Structure formats: structure tokens, C-alpha cells
Amino acid sequence: LFTDADDLWGDGTVADRQTAAVDAAYGARKTFDFYHDQFGRNGIANDGNGGYSRVHYGNEYVNAFWDDDCFCMTYGDGVDNVNPLTALDVAAHEMTHGVTSTTADLYYYDGESGGLNEGTSDIMAAAVEFFANNPQDVPDYEVGELIDINGDGTPLRYMDQPSKDGISQDYWSSRTEGLDPHFSSGVANHYFYLLAEGSGSKTINGASYNSPTYDSLPVPGLGLHNAFNVWYRALTLYMTSTTDYAGARVATLQAAADLFGRSSEAYETVGNAWAAVNVGGRFVNHITLSPLTAQESAVGQPATLRIEAATSQSGGLTYAASGLPGGLTIDATTGLVSGSPTEPGAFTPTVTLRTSGGSSTTATFPWTVIPSGGDFFVNPGNVNIPDAGDPAESPLVVTGHDGNAPGDLQVTVDIVHTWRGDLVIDLVGSDGTVRRLKNSNSDSGDDVHATYTVDASAIPSNGTWKLRVQDVYSFDTGYIDSWKLTF
């Protein structure tokens, strides 16, 4: 513990060992005050306690970290032991890891939740800088701009356009979850900048920003204050340890509904800021509609398609469709398309979604129906696989095949799922006989696209067959995309 006879602390240089301690105490104080004044949060753990800060850790240690065990901060002295990592945004970033661990507890080491954990720290660090408004550390949307870890005067990370660091992502993609959390955080940081300040070029406190959007459409900013209120409310009430980017969108929309009302423009702006980083769809006429992909079905085989849409307006949505393949209908209330196609062909249905207030949006997509050749049966409907839960089952009806199935029945499986080693796959015959197609293992690859040959000569062909898929480990998720039997 530092003590001082004259109560004059540090001198602003590293020659005085007190200086790093004073800066650390300043960072702890401003972070504590920010959470207290903005959210009524009383300390990192909301228990009224401050945490210790430890400085001069290690030798030429170029890092700072929060420790959930001691609930304390540690700072190294950096390059040559003369660049302590005690900048305000570093302090606020690290202590925000403590806030996250006592709230959503976003899991750090796997998947997109780690990026959301890091992003939360960058987001609140920027907010604390603006809150402190210190002319010696002019508030900005950069991370680590004062500590010069790169050695060339550039920041560690940029929130308006995260890819400027050379690694971080501006927009969500299927690669996001595989990145180190310090880089998968780019999607969250970019969303937050867009929600706070809006897209395009802007000068803030003398610094120039230029924030792009995934769909090249503009996003208006709601202001920093509204943006961090939405994030904090989502973090503390709606996010959990396994929240991913899609879940963060849902959590922040719920927070925005609480704060501004579901039918507000601000609510739609939150959704559009996510769309601008490729998470979810834009609100068009108060309706978001996820992209509709090309469908393939077979004559006489059950087909399903769920239209994923939502509205900011009260009264829900009604669904209609024209040009669907014969035999298929859409449920006006749920948007579920189902039935069994009656004839082959290439179709281009249009779905129309309407709010109770009369706003509407439409989308057109291709739907191919192949003939049922007598030995080919497909179920193209998507079935979600519960994470580490009960098995998912997808049925498939076989008709017109008297007698038993062949000894070399072909089972073609298309499953979208990260870390496919989590999956156990069985074929359930028309008489309930179970044939194992795939066991769980340590295969970390994505998706299952495989054709298995099964001796089904003891199983009657006609009847309802099922593909049964169980996810036996947590975190990775997915769905049965389609599967088929070839006799």
C-alpha cells in the first residue's frame, strides 16, 4: 500500500512510483462513479465495495487485468517499465469484466459470447472516457489510444470501423465465433458506435470517424447516453453466459422496448444498427424479415418453411403468400408454410407480411419441387436441435414401396451445426428399429453433409421414418437442414 507524508501524490512522470498508483486510483474512481451515476450500480459487484488496484506488477509486463477471485485490478509497467498501462479506458475496460462476471457472465473462451464479453468492456470504457471528459485524455471511440502498445502511436482497437486494426470484423459472419474475443468484439463495438453516433463520416472532439454499414444504408445515431443505457440494461437483465450475437440483438431490442417503447423509432434504430453489422434484418415499414433462401421439396413429401419476421407495432403480423407450389399453404398467424407439393416445377412464391396498422413488406424467393421418382424421399424442413437437450426428430413418409427396404438403403443427411462432434445421429425405421449413423466424438468441424449406407432389409419400406439427432454437449447449436432416403 502506498503511503505519503505530505499527501501530494505522484508527479505525472514514471520517475515517481506513486504516479501509476494515482492513475490507477483515478481510473477506479471514475469507473465506480460512472456505474453509480448512470445506472445506480454501487460498485463493480453492486455490493458497495471498491476493489484494490495493484501497480508495478511483474517486469516489463505489457498488460493489465481484472481478477474475479480477488475482485481487484492489476497493471503492468509496460515496455521498458516506463509505459504503465494505467490509462482510463484500460482501467474501465478491465473493471467492466468484473461487472460482466457478476451480471450476464458471458462465457469467455468459446463462441460469440467471448466477443460480447470483450465488446462490453470496450463499450463501457468508451462511455467512461466521455463521462470523465478529461482534457488530458480526450474522449473517443478508440481503445488503448494512450498506452501505445503497438509502438507506433496507433490505438489497439477502433469502434467506428473495427477492421482498421487489421484483424477485427466490421460485420458478423460465420467466422466470428472462431476469432479471439478481442477481435470478435468488433461486431459489438461497431454496432455500439453506429447506435451512439450513426453511420458515415463525423468529427467528435476533433477526431475523425467514418463508420460503414453492411447493407450500405444509413443508421441514425441515438446518442451515446441512450446507446449505453440500452447495452447496460441488456447486459444486466437479458444476456446470459451463452448469449451470441443473435441473442444480443434480441436482448438489446427488449431493453430498447423497456426504455423507449416497442413502437418507437429508437426501438427500430436498435434493430437497424444490428442489421448494419449483419445481425438480423432491417425494419422496413415497421417489419423485419430474415432473408428467404431457395427451397427444394419433392412431390408427395411433407415440406415446411418458417418465415422469420417481427414487427415493432402492436397487434402482430398477418402472413399471406401467392405462387406457392400446389399443396402448400401458409398459416396467416404463424407464417408457417406447410403441406405436401402435388406437382413438380419451378415456383417463385411471394410472401406478404402486414401489420395490424396496414404497413406491409413482401419478399420473393425460388421454390423447386422435384418429382418423387418412386425411390427418392426427402424432408427439406428445418428442425432445430436443442443444445445438450432432447433429441430432435424429422419425419419422412415413404409410400408405394411394398415389402422391405433394401440392404443398401442410402441415408443422406444435411445438418448445419458448429462442432459436429457433439452430434449423435440415428435412423429410426418405419417399425421403430433404430440404426446408429454417427456417434459423438471430438470432431470440431462444422456441419454434417454425408450419405450413410444402412442394411434396412428387415424394415418395412412404407411408413414414417425418422432422422433422430441429439446434441450431447453444450454451447454449439444448429439444425437439421434436410435429409432423404434413396431406396
CB under 5 A: which stretch of 120-128, 159-167, 242-250, 309-317 binds Zn ion? Answer: 120-128
Give least dist CB 308 to Zn ion, A. Answer: 33
# residues contacting Zn ion (CB under 5 A): 2
Q: Which stretch binds Zn ion (CB under 5 A): 7-15, 114-122, 357-365, 405-413?
A: 114-122
401 is catalytic: no
Which residue's CB is nearer to Zn ion, number 187 or number 456? 187
Minimum separation from the CB atom of position 96 to Zn ion (A): 8
At closest approach, how far in Å is the CB of 17 from Zn ion? Answer: 26
Stretch that binds Zn ion, among 110-118, 126-134, 185-193, 276-284 (CB under 5 A): 110-118
Find the shortest distance in angstroms from Cβ 93 to Zn ion: 6
Nearest distance, CB of residue 276 and Zn ion, angstroms: 24
Query: Which one, 98 or 139, has the nearer CB to Zn ion?
Result: 98
Q: Which of 182, 190, 286, 417 is catalytic?
A: 182
Distances (CA, A) of 422 to 164, 177, 341, 389, 447: 36, 17, 34, 11, 11
Nearer to Zn ion, 70 or 217 (CB): 70
Q: Closer to Zn ion at the Cβ: 143 or 256?
A: 143
Nearer to Zn ion, 121 or 301 (CB): 121
Active-site residue among 93, 94, 142, 286? 94
Are the C-beta atoms of 468 and 385 separated by less than 8 Å?
Answer: no
Position closest to Zn ion via CB: 121
Distance CA 16, CA 449 (A): 64
Answer yes or no: are the C-beta atoms of 456 and 403 closer than 8 Å: no
Q: Read off the amino acid at residue 170.
A: D
Among 19, 86, 103, 121, binds Zn ion (CB under 5 A): 121
Cell of 426: 440415428
Strand 423-428's sheet: what is its strand order?
392-398, 463-471, 423-428, 434-438
Which residue's CB is nearer to Zn ion, number 53 or number 121? Answer: 121
Nearer to Zn ion, 106 or 275 (CB): 106
d(CA 184, CA 177): 7
Q: Is 112 one of the catalytic residues?
A: no
Q: Shortest approach of Zn ion to residue 117 CB, angstroms?
A: 7
User: Segment near Zn ion (CB under 5 A), from 47-55, 112-120, 230-238, 281-289?
Assistant: 112-120
CB 18 within 8 A of CB 2: yes
Task: Quickly tell me which residue has 520517475 as its cell.
Answer: 15
Least separation, in Å, of the C-beta of 43 and Zn ion?
19
Q: For the chain, what is the largest distance between any 2 Cα atoms, rounded to a whole number of angstroms?
A: 99
Is residue 189 involved in binding Zn ion (CB under 5 A)? no
CA–CA separation, 259 and 282 (whole Å): 20
* Interface ranges with Zn ion (CB under 5 A): 118, 121
Active site residues: 94, 182
